[in-house]
Amino acid sequence: MSEPVLYSQVYKYDFKVVPIILSFLYGGKRAGFAAVFALLITGLFTGPKLVILAGNYTIFCLLLLAVTPLFHRYRIKGKVIVISLVYLMIPITRGIFLLLKGDYPQTIFEVSSSSIILATLIAIIYLIENMNEQMEMRQELIRREKMDVVSQLAASVAHEVRNPMTSVRGFMQLMQNESLTEKQDMYITISIEELDRAQGIITQYLDLARPQTNPFETIDLTSVIHQSINVMQSYAVLNSIHITHQVEESLEIVGFKLEIQQVLINIIKNAIEAIKSEGEITISAANQSNGFVSIHIEDNGVGMTEEQIKKLGSPYYSTKEKGTGLGLTLCHHIVKQMGGQIVIESELNKGTCFTINLPAKY
């Protein structure tokens, strides 16, 4: 890149376009424009005609801004095809111009240099995608190991712990029937609430450990979403939170009805607790062109940082003071079993959007 090949005083060939494309695709707008700026400064010292260079970079920037969302929808082969078509637009138009001009030697030079640059770009994309895939596989392996630990723990101690807890709770309820002071009654009430919370955590452990053996069934997702909203409506009203919804009619998926309802209730509950009071939750659902049904649950609560989003769904990690992280872990587990995915977008102090993508019934 520091020593480009100069065919003439007008045309030069180098690899500067490669870091620009990669910066936009994998680093975002800021990284992309930073790369363009750095390479324009470098261009001042590596060759003439800075105006032509700036023009080419501007065209690439506009193309990459438009194509980056499309690029990330595909797997490796699709990504290579998309970026190849984008990159080849300028060499092809320049090649046609040179042919019309009658400059056949430079046309051949243009074709060969563009082929080398494209091959380099494709090779780097394959390397990056393979590295990302290996990192995802490593994270999945760590997650599975954690899930195995949770499952083993649940299977070995859950039932043994629940029995004495039930007995203790029963005796405490009997004690409440006795003549107690206000303070003693308050202590017993708090103890019972904490025992119930512990029972809930044990139930979540058992849900994670329990293998799903029931067959998939056809689910009227529209009805399930409305039922889940109705269940959580009173809890939202108590916290002065308004729930609005726009759910497409006749949405159908194949999966586990009770489990997907559990996922929806859990996420709506989290949204209510993130707002705390006087906020709004928007729920929408619709069929997508890619064969999935997308459910969006958006709140205007406290939001989360990028670091928190990455950890969310891991066992034992929670942004709530008394949370265990098992609720969202279970949600991810259920949705993944059904061939779906949960995507989380959030901005600190502005709100969070959970998107649940589930395969639609064909």
Q: Which of 312, 321, 322, 295 is nearest to 346 (CA)?
A: 312
pLDDT top residue among 65 and 204: 65
**CB-based burial label for 137 (10 Å; 0-12, 13-18, 19+):** exposed
> Using one digit for the tens of pLDDT, what is the confidence trace for 34-57?
988 888 887 666 555 667 777 777
> Using one digit for the tens of pLDDT, what is the confidence trace for 249-262?
989 998 888 788 88
HEC per residue, the chain = CCCCEECCCCCEECCCHHHHHHHHHHHCHHHHHHHHHHHHHHHHHHCCCHHHHHHHHHHHHHHHHHHHHHHCCCCHHHHHHHHHHHHHHHHHHHHHHHHHHCCHHHHHHHHHHHHHHHHHHHHHHHHHHHHHHHHHHHHHHHHHHHHHHHHHHHHHHHHHHHHHHHHHHHHHHHHHCCCCCHHHHHHHHHHHHHHHHHHHHHHHHHHHHCCCCCCCEEEEHHHHHHHHHHHHHHHHHHCCCEEEEEECCCCEEEECHHHHHHHHHHHHHHHHHHHCCCCEEEEEEEECCCCEEEEEEEECCCCCCHHHHHHCCCCCCCCCCCCCCHHHHHHHHHHHHCCCEEEEEEECCCEEEEEEEEEECC
Inter-CA distances, 171 with 176, 178, 186, 197, 204, Å? 9, 11, 15, 17, 25
Compute CA 64 distance to the chain's CA centroid, rounded to the nearest angstrom: 22
> Using one digit for the tens of pLDDT, what is the confidence trace for 228-274?
998 888 888 888 899 999 999 989 998 888 788 888 988 999 899 88
pLDDT top residue among 127 and 5: 127
Compute CA 331 distance to the chain's CA centroid, rounded to the nearest angstrom: 14
pLDDT at 226: 92
pLDDT at 211: 59
pLDDT top residue among 176 and 120: 120
Average pLDDT (88-99) is: 81
Alpha-carbon gap, residue 99 to 84, rounded angstroms: 22
pLDDT at 222: 93
Percent of the residues in the chain that have a pLDDT greater than 70, as a whole number: 82
- pLDDT of 350 higher than 90: no
Average pLDDT (214-226) is: 87
Residue 94's contacts (CB-CB under 8 Å, 6 or more residues apart) are: 110
- pLDDT of 9 higher than 60: no
What pLDDT band is residue 355 in, cutting at 50, 70 and 90?
very high
pLDDT at 128: 92
> Using one digit for the tens of pLDDT, what is the confidence trace for 125-164?
999 999 988 888 887 787 777 666 766 666 666 667 777 8
What pLDDT band is residue 207 in, cutting at 50, 70 and 90?
low
Is the whole-model pTM more than 0.75? no
**CB-based burial label for 323 (10 Å; 0-12, 13-18, 19+):** middle
pLDDT top residue among 194 and 84: 84
Percent of the residues in the chain that have a pLDDT greater than 90, as a whole number: 16
Q: Which of 115, 123, 117 is nearest to 80 (CA)?
A: 123
> Using one digit for the tens of pLDDT, what is the confidence trace for 286-324?
998 888 999 999 999 888 888 888 777 666 556 666 565
pLDDT at 89: 82
pLDDT top residue among 267 and 216: 267
Q: Output the average pLDDT for the chain.
A: 81
pLDDT top residue among 201 and 131: 131
Residue 341 CB neighbours (<10 A): 13
